[in-house]
């Protein structure tokens, strides 16, 4: 049996995952905030929660590259 190929780290791909998750969290936060009458606060909360969620997503995606 051959060992499995090691995954390569792609900085542009990691940035895309990070940005995509962050923007999705901001949009979801703004949507929830809009439902409660404060879209700006919801977007801010989405951004604050989206940063660690994006970092975790990049870590999970590229954990085998290092």
* pLDDT tens for the 66 residues of the chain, in order: 676 666 788 889 999 999 999 999 999 999 999 999 999 999 999 999 999 999 999 999 988 877
**Dihedrals phi, psi of 41, to nearest 5 degrees:** -65, -40
Look up the domain containing 50 and give its range. 12-65
Q: Is residue 27 part of a domain?
A: yes
Q: Is residue 21 part of a domain?
A: yes
Q: Is residue 41 part of a domain?
A: yes
Q: Is residue 39 part of a domain?
A: yes
Q: 5 and 37 in contact (C-beta within 8 Å)?
A: no
Q: pTM of the entire structure?
A: 0.83
The pLDDT value recorded for residue 10 is 87
The pLDDT value recorded for residue 29 is 97
Q: Is residue 6 part of a domain?
A: no
Q: Is residue 4 part of a domain?
A: no
Q: Is residue 1 part of a domain?
A: no
The pLDDT value recorded for residue 49 is 97
Distance, in Å, from the CA atom of 51 to the CA atom of 26, rounded to the nearest integer, reads: 10
Q: How many domains does the chain have?
A: 1
């Amino acid at each position: 049996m051959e060992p499995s190929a090691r995954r390569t780290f792609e900085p542009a791909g990691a940035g895309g995952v990070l940005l995509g998750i962050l923007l999705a969290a901001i949009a979801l936060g703004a949507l929830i905030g809009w439902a409660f009458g404060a879209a700006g606060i919801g977007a801010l909360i989405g951004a604050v929660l989206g940063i660690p969620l994006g970092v975790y997503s990049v870590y999970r995606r590229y954990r085998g590259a290092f």
